[in-house]
Homo-oligomer: A and B are copies of this chain.
């Protein structure tokens, strides 16, 4: 979709990147399950994401600067995806979506586990998770800068 007809309202700009049924689920699996490789994300998907949708979303999230992709020169399929600071700062979005889903949708208690725990916790917990993700994903020299 051309973006020229659309506004530069920050909510609009965000949904142009994240407004689909899969992007937040891919990010959820990277954030909460530490799945960093294509195959892990594909095989672990509770929603049975297809290979083509996953490839498309990973490419879009990389183009948007939310993930970076490091290629493994010896194994073409072993590219590794890493959150950027822009990606880490989506934790409050994922957490508030999880909170709302937990409160208002008929979620399966067994499936909610860590996501639901996070949702019920105050925002201070988001900050702690974001710091943990920064230490796992961001280059050491950029942390705290």
Residues of A at the B interface (CB closer than 8 Å) are 1, 5-25, 28, 46-48, 65, 86, 89-90, 92-108, 111-112, 115-116, 119, 123
Contact = CB atoms under 8 A, between A and B. Distances in A.
A93 B92 CA distance: 8
18 contacts: A7-B111, A8-B107, A9-B25, A9-B47, A9-B115, A10-B102, A11-B97, A12-B46, A13-B106, A14-B98, A14-B100, A15-B24, A18-B97, A19-B22, A19-B23, A19-B24, A89-B103, A89-B104
A22 B13 CA distance: 11
A99 B104 CA distance: 23
Nearest to A92: B96
A94 B14 CA distance: 10
B15 A25 contact: yes
